[in-house]
Each structure stands twice: as C-alpha cells, then as structure tokens.
Amino acid sequence: MRQAKSVAGGDNRDGTRYEQSFLSEKQQRRQHKDTHAHARQRHIMAKLLVIAGVLALLSATAVRAATVNCQPVNGNDLIRKCGKQYFDLASIKGADGKSLLTAKDTTNGYMYYVQFTNNGVPSKLPNCTLQDSSVLGAQVRLDGQGCYSLAKANLINWAYDNSTNDLTITATGGTNGRSMSIKAQCQFGAKYTNMQETGESGLTYNFNINMPSKHCTNSPPHGPSHNGKKKTDGGAIVLGVFFGVLLGYFVLGAVYLGGAQGRRGVEMIPNREFWASLPGLVQDGFYFTTAKLKGTASRGNYAQI
C-alpha cells in the first residue's frame, strides 16, 4: 500500500511538473508573440513617422516652389519679374486717368487711396492732410474727422503664387501698426485699373486690384525704368546732339555772314556750295556702293560717275 501510494505520489509529482512545464512554455510563447507584436508596432510607427516626415518635406518644398519672389526689372521696383511673368505697376491708371487709385467704403464711412508711383499718395487729400511722407496707402474718414497712413511706400514686399497666378503685395509701417495686403490680377478687356477694399484682418487692410492685361506680360514691358521716370535712349541723345549742333551751325553761320559780310537771302547759308552739291554727292556714293556690292565698281567707274 505504501508503495502504491508512493508510486501514486510520484505520478502526481511528475504530472505537476509536466503541467508546470506546459504552462511555462505557453507563457513563453505568449511573451514571444507579445514581443513580436510590439516590435511590429514599433516598426510600423517608425515607417509612419518617416512617411509623415517625407510628406511634410514635400509639402514645404511644394509651397516654396509655388511661391516665388519678384525681382525688379532694370532697377525699377514697380516693374517686377515673378517667375516667368512680368508685372508693371509703374504705369497703372484709374478710371480718371490718374495713378492715384481710390476705393470707397460707405458702410463704415471711409475712403481709401493707393498710389505706387511718385513716392506714394499725395500728402494733401480730400478731408485729410497726411503727416507722414512716402505713404503707399491712406485711410480717410468721410466726415473729415481723421486720416491714417496704412503703409509706407518703401516697405513693400512682392510674392507671386505660380499655382494660382496671384500677385500679393504686402506693405507695413502704417499709423499705429497698420499694414496692407493687395492682391493684384490682370483682366482681359479692362481699360483701366480698378481697386476694391475687401475688409480688414486685425490691423491689416485688404485690397484687390484688377489691371488691364497689358500690365501682366511674358516679356519685359516697354515703359518707365526707374519708378515712373522714363529711361532716355542713347540713340535719341546722339541724334539730339547732332541736330542741335547742326542747327547751331546754320544759325550762327547765318548771323555771322549777314552781320559781318552783309550777305542776304540764300547767301547767308554757311558753305552754300557744299550743301547745294550734297544731294549729288550722296547719289554718287549710293551708285558707287551699289556697284561695289555687285563687283562692277572700280576707280575708273567712280571717276566717271
């Protein structure tokens, strides 16, 4: 009986050890699965973070590619090349033919003035005398109770969006922190530039400007080259000097011949014989040059002519 119990007891102990071993292996397998699952989760999270970083980088690159800076053309801050597009704000005119643009806000009782050329809006406006100089935009109360500078003409920034073809001009330096944001677009068929006030964002006053299509081109515009001042052509200067000297030659020569030598009429023309023969000399030179180009000219031919 004791032996039987002993055997039975041994079997029980073996069974317990087997059961404990089975449970231990099961726990190990579960722990292994948990560890593997956690590793997969970490791996997936790492991939997601990398993908998110790449997308953020691509988005930032796309934004930078879409928005380009605008460079002055020939030193003119009001004619800019933005990407492949040229914008000319140096010669825009309103419906009245003037460069001073206006927009009226009857609801809130304000008149707005914007001028890009001539160092900004005039200091004297209806119902207002501005204290600041070089003001890009002004806000004037219709009741005459005050006016404010919205931005300085020398604190302008240009930005062009390639994706929307929008030109945005921002300017700062206005009264009590005021600033401006102007969206400029060109409109086919428009005969003059039109401006609208589109509301405020805090202390930033927003405007839309629609310009004739000739102010938005794919090639440099032919216009003022230095903030509203026309560029003088070198050829025009040479021609002006030449004809000026020629006129002075005839006038002074006629005065001398008439006063000192008492000549009258055509005799007062200096070197009259030379000027009378000049058309024939030009004709001879033309014939000789033509013959030379044809290969038939010679010294003898020129002498005969």
How far CA 277 is from CA of 50, 77, 169, in Å, comes to 89, 53, 63
Q: Say if residue 118 is in the same domain as residue 173.
A: yes
* Domain-embedded: residue 228: no
Instruction: Indicate if 47 and 117 belong to the same structural domain.
Output: no
Do 190 and 113 lie in one domain? The reply is yes
CATH for 87: 2.70.130.10
Residue 154, domain member (yes or no)? yes
**Residue 262, in any domain of the structure:** yes
Task: Assess whether 110 and 204 both reside in one domain.
Answer: yes
Q: What is the pLDDT of residue 45?
A: 59
pTM, 2 dp: 0.55
Q: Which of 45, 66, 87 is the last residue of a domain?
A: 66
- Which pLDDT score is estimated for 65? 47
Q: Per the structure, how many domains does the chain have? A: 3
The answer to whether residues 249 and 132 belong to one domain is no
User: Which of 19, 46, 66 is the C-terminal boundary of a domain?
Assistant: 66
Q: Is residue 227 part of a domain?
A: no
Per the domain annotation, does 223 fall within a domain? Answer: no
Q: Give the C-alpha separation, 100 to 114, whole Å.
A: 6
Same-domain pairing of 86 and 191: yes
Q: For the chain, 305 residues long, give each residue's pLDDT as a single digit of tens.
A: 444 444 444 555 555 555 555 556 656 666 666 666 666 665 565 555 556 555 555 554 444 445 788 899 988 989 999 888 899 999 999 999 999 999 999 999 999 999 999 889 999 999 899 988 899 999 999 998 999 999 999 999 999 988 877 899 999 999 999 999 999 988 888 999 999 999 999 999 999 999 999 998 888 886 444 444 445 556 778 888 888 888 888 888 888 878 887 888 878 888 878 878 888 888 888 888 888 787 775 555 545 44
One domain for residues 198 and 95: yes
Residues 141 and 196 in one domain: yes
256 part of a folded domain: yes
The one-letter amino acid code at 166 reads D
Q: Are strands 147-161 and 166-173 parallel, antiparallel or unpaired?
A: antiparallel
- Which of 191, 217, 243 is the last residue before a domain boundary? 217
pLDDT at 188: 85
Token pair, residue 244, equals 């000026």
Which pLDDT value is given to residue 8? 47
CA dist., res. 258 & res. 268, Å (int): 6
Q: Are residues 105 and 188 in the same domain?
A: yes
Q: Give residues with Cβ within 8 angstroms of 230, minimum separation 6.
A: 223, 224
For residue 121, being part of any structural domain is answered with: yes
Question: What's the confidence (pLDDT) of residue 290?
Answer: 83
| 101 and 51 both lie in a single domain | no
- Pair (83, 166) in one structural domain: yes
Give a yes or no: residue 255 inside a domain.
yes
Residue range of the domain that includes 110: 74-217
23 with 153, same domain: the answer is: no
The two three-digit tokens of residue 248, written as one number: 């002075």
